């Protein structure tokens, strides 16, 4: 007999429990098919990827509108049985009030978690001033609380991937975001054992997300030993999928050869993966 379909509240409670102890993987699908494939592999939660979704729509990362992203969140949550964490970029608003309003809309999609970045989108000053960034994060926190939704809030400091790789500044920001109400902290781009350990220690006991965006010397046990609570891969799985597609397509276009199609996942295997039959 199939297990009952989890409710939104079930997913949110389960997601919060995942952050209480141990270390878990939260990979990043970009559409329903990739989400269902990852779910079938037993991952306990999923996280959206702004880049992967944008590429699937023929757009650059950061070019998707709020409404398209909200539609994407509704679609993924409805299609999956596990909790979904939303990559909500910088809240799709320039003001704290705008962030709060948009977070409230995101909550309605049924997501279990949501991240807010401190990236400003301005090349000369890629990060919001700390007080402004804190105000935006606090506004997201208030929106969640006012909605009465047990949505986990992730505070992201983007310096290491926005040309400001300053560990001291990053830690200062993450601590401030924790004090403003973030449940989990995230600094994409930190890579060394020393950087990761310093961030984990600085924000303890709050959980830390670490991004592994490519081949890495770290294993899951290595990161768990450093105190990392969750591990995501951002757009890396989407890039891996695009690599296979482009390699085969370019060889067909340039050389008229089809050998790059060798080893492709069989049609029957994919049909079985997405079949409604038990």
Q: What are phi and psi of 154, to 5 degrees?
A: -110, 125
Q: What is the pLDDT of residue 276?
A: 77
Which CATH number applies to 8-236? 3.20.20.60
Q: What is the pLDDT of residue 3?
A: 77
Domain positions in the chain: 8-236
What tens-digit pLDDT sequence spans the chain (278 residues)?
Answer: 567 899 999 999 999 999 999 999 999 999 999 999 999 999 999 999 999 999 999 999 999 999 999 999 999 999 999 999 999 999 999 999 999 999 999 999 999 999 999 999 999 999 999 999 999 999 999 999 999 999 999 999 999 999 999 999 999 999 999 999 999 999 999 999 999 999 999 999 999 999 999 999 999 999 999 999 999 999 999 999 999 999 999 999 999 999 999 999 999 999 999 997 44
Q: Which helix (H) or strand (E) holds 200?
A: helix 193-203
Cα dihedral: 117, 119, 121, 125 (round 10): 170
Q: What is the pLDDT of residue 50?
A: 98
**From residue 261, how far is each of 32, 88, 249, 270 by CA, in Å?**
23, 35, 9, 15
Q: What is the pLDDT of residue 278?
A: 43
Q: What is the pLDDT of residue 2?
A: 67
Residue (of 85, 79, 107, 80) closest to 26 by Cα position? 85
With beta carbons less than 8 A apart as the criterion, state whether 195 and 159 touch.
no
């Amino acid at each position: 007999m199939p297990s009952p379909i989890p409710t939104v509240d079930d997913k949110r409670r389960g997601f919060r429990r995942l952050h209480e102890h141990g270390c878990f993987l939260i990979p990043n699908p970009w559409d329903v098919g990739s989400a269902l494939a990852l779910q079938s592999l037993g991952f306990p939660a999923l996280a959206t990827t702004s880049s992967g979704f944008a590429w699937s729509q023929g757009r650059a990362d950061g070019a998707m509108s709020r409404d398209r992203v909200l539609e994407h969140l509704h679609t993924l949550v409805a299609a999956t049985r596990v909790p979904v964490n939303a990559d909500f970029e910088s809240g799709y608003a320039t003001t704290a009030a705008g962030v709060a309003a948009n977070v409230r809309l995101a909550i309605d999609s049924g997501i279990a978690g949501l991240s807010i970045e401190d990236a400003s989108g301005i090349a000369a000053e890629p990060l919001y001033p700390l007080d402004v960034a804190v105000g935006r994060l606090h506004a997201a926190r208030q929106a969640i609380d006012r909605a009465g939704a047990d949505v986990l809030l992730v505070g992201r400091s983007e310096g290491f991937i926005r040309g400001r790789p300053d560990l001291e500044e990053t830690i200062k920001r993450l601590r401030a975001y924790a004090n403003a109400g973030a449940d989990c902290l995230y600094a994409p781009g930190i890579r060394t054992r020393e950087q990761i350990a310093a961030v984990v220690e600085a924000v303890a006991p709050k959980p830390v997300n670490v991004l592994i965006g490519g081949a890495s010397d770290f294993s899951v046990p290595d990161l768990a030993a450093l105190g990392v609570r969750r591990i995501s891969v951002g757009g890396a799985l989407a890039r891996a999928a695009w690599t296979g597609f482009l390699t085969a397509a370019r060889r067909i276009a340039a050389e008229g050869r089809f050998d790059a199609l060798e080893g492709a996942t069989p049609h029957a295997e994919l049909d079985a993966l997405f079949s409604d039959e038990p």
